Amino acid sequence: MRHRINIFHPVFIFILAQLAWLFLLGLWIYWYVSNYIILKQVGENFAPQIAAKSTNLVALVSGLVLLISVLVGMYFIFIYLNKQLSMTRLYDNFIANVTHELKSPLASILLYLETLRDRKVPQTRQQEFVSLMVKDVNRLQSLINSILKLSGIEKKKLIAHYHVYRIGDAVKTLLGETIELFKLDPDSVRIEGDAPCTCVIDYNALKVVVDNLVDNAVKFTSGTFHLTIQMSCTSKFFNLKFIDQGIGISKNNQNKIFHRFFRITKPDIPDIRGTGLGLHIVQEIIRSHGGKISVFSEGENRGSTFTIELPIYQVSKKRFLKHLLKATKKLEKQSDAA
Ligand code: ADP
C-alpha cells in the first residue's frame, strides 16, 4: 500500500520547525565563535558602540526567528494532541455504546430462550417472544452492518450497484419499506411534493440513508412523532428534506454530528441507544453519489431538518457517471460468472 506524505501534517511541521530551530542555533553559535575575536578587536579599536549595535541586531533577528519556530512547533503539536485526545474520548464512548448495544439485545434473547426452555409458555405468548427475539436480532444485525460499512468506507471498499432511477418513485418505495421496518404509523410520516427527475443511485445504499434518518427522527423525538419528507427537483439537483419536530440540535453541534463516533450527551437527554456511526455513514454514501447533506435546527427542542442534494442524471459529471456504471457492470459480470 502506498502512503502519501502529507507535508501539512502537524508532526511533520513540528519536525521541520525543530530542525530549523537547531540549524539556527548551530549557525548562531558558529557565527558568534568565528566572529567574536574580530568583532571585539574592531570594536575596541574604532567604535565599540556601533559594533555592539550591529551584533545585537543580528542576534535579535536570529533569536526572534528561533523563538517563532519553537512557538509554531508547539502550536501544531498542541492542535495535534488535542485532536488525538478528542478522538480517543469519542472512541472510548463508541466502545462503551457498542458494548451496551451488543449486550442488551443478547441478554433479552437469552431471557426469552430460557423462559421458553424452562416454562410452559402458551402458544400466543410464544409467538410474541419469537417476534421480540427477531426484533433484537435485527438490532444486532443492523449494528454489525454499521460497523462493517464503516470499515468498508475507511478502506474505500464499498461495493455499489448504481442504476438510473426516477428518484421520486425510488424514495417513496424506500420510505414505505422503512415505515414497515420500524413499524411506524403511516400517518406520522407525510410526503410532500414529487421528484420526476432521474438520478444515478445505489438503491441499497440509499436505503441505509433513509433508514438512518428516519430512525434518528424517531429516536430523537420525545413527544409525538411526526416526520415530513419534502421532495423537489431543480434543473440540476434532486432535493430531499427530512423535517422532524424532535429535540433539535444546538448550533455548535450541527457540523459535528457527521463526525464518526460523535454523539450529543447531555444529562437531560435520556439514554438513547446508538453508536455515533449512522450520520457519518450517511454522509459518506451521499458523497459517493456526488451529493451533499446538511442539517439545520433552530436550536434545542425546535426540531431538525436534514437536507440532501443529489445531482440529477443529466448534470452528473460524465466521467463520474461512467465510472459508477462501469463499476456496477463489472460487479454484475462477476456475480453472473460466479
Ligand atoms: P447515533 O444515532 O447512533 O447516536 P448518528 O451518527 O446517527 O449516531 O447521530 C449522531 C448524533 O447526532 C446523535 O447521537 C444525536 O445526538 C444527533 N442527532 C442525529 N439525528 C438527530 C435528530 N433527528 N434530532 C436530534 N439530534 C439528532
* Residue type at position 327: A
- In tens, the pLDDT along 298-333 reads 988 899 999 999 999 887 766 666 777 777 777 667
Would you say 170 and 284 are in contact if contact means Cβ atoms under 8 Å apart?
Answer: no
pLDDT at 53 over 60: no
Average pLDDT, rounded, for the chain: 84
pLDDT exceeding 70 applies to what percent of the chain?
84
Q: Tell which atom from ligand 1 comes closest to the C-alpha of 212.
A: 7
Q: Give the Cα separation of 176 and 211 in Å (integer).
A: 11
State if residue 304 touches ligand 1 by the CB under 6 angstroms criterion. Answer: yes
State if residue 303 touches ligand 1 by the CB under 6 angstroms criterion. Answer: no
pLDDT exceeding 90 applies to what percent of the chain?
43
- Which position has the grid cell 405468548? 125
254's grid cell? 450541527
Q: Give the Cα separation of 117 and 312 in Å (integer).
A: 55
Q: Give the Cα separation of 217 and 290 in Å (integer).
A: 24
289's grid cell? 453519489
Q: Give nearest CA residue, ligand 1 atom 16.
A: 264
**pLDDT at res. 242:** 98
- In tens, the pLDDT along 191-209 reads 999 999 999 898 989 999 9
Ligand 1 centroid–CA 238 distance in Å is 24
How much is the average pLDDT of 198-226? Answer: 93
Instruction: Give a three-class secondary structure readout of 22-75.
Output: HHHHHHHHHHHHHHHHHHHHHHHHCCHHHHHHHHHHHHHHHHHHHHHHHHHHHH
What SS3 state is found at 269? coil
What SS3 state is found at 128? helix
Mutate to test the pocket of ligand 1, among 90, 93, 215, 263 (most ligand atoms within 8 A of CB): 263
Ligand 1 centroid–CA 142 distance in Å is 16
Higher pLDDT, 254 or 51: 254
Ligand 1 centroid–CA 330 distance in Å is 36
**pLDDT at res. 216:** 95
pLDDT at 59 over 80: no
Lowest mean pLDDT among 119-128, 134-143, 150-159, 192-201: 150-159
**pLDDT at res. 1:** 45
Q: Give nearest CA residue, ligand 1 atom 12.
A: 257
Ligand 1 centroid–CA 279 distance in Å is 7
Provide the β-strand partners of residue 202. 162
pLDDT at 109 over 90: yes
pLDDT at 2 over 60: no
pTM for the structure as a whole: 0.73
DSSP class per residue in 101-123:
HHHHHHHHHHHHHHHHHHS---H
pLDDT at 105 over 60: yes
162: left (phi > 0), else alpha (psi -120 to 50), else beta? beta
State the CB neighbour count (10 A cutoff) for residue 255: 12
State if residue 247 touches ligand 1 by the CB under 6 angstroms criterion. Answer: yes
**pLDDT at res. 273:** 80
**pLDDT level of residue 34 (50, 70, 90 thresholds):** confident
Q: Please report, for residues 44, 61, 63, 140, 228, the alpha-carbon distance to residue 57 in angstroms, rounded to integers and kept in the order given.
A: 19, 6, 10, 70, 69
Ligand 1 centroid–CA 75 distance in Å is 32
How much is the average pLDDT of 21-28? Answer: 80
Report helix angle 48-118 to 123-154, nearest 10: 160
How much is the average pLDDT of 14-18? Answer: 75
pLDDT at 250 over 80: yes
Nearest to 178 by CA among 213, 141, 146, 135: 213
Ligand 1 centroid–CA 162 distance in Å is 27
Q: Tell which atom from ligand 1 comes closest to the C-alpha of 246.
A: 24
Could you tell me how many residues make up the chain?
Answer: 338
Q: Tell which atom from ligand 1 comes closest to the C-alpha of 303.
A: 24
**Distant-in-sequence, close-in-space partners of 197: CB < 8 Å, separation ≥ 6:** 166, 167, 168, 233, 238, 312, 313
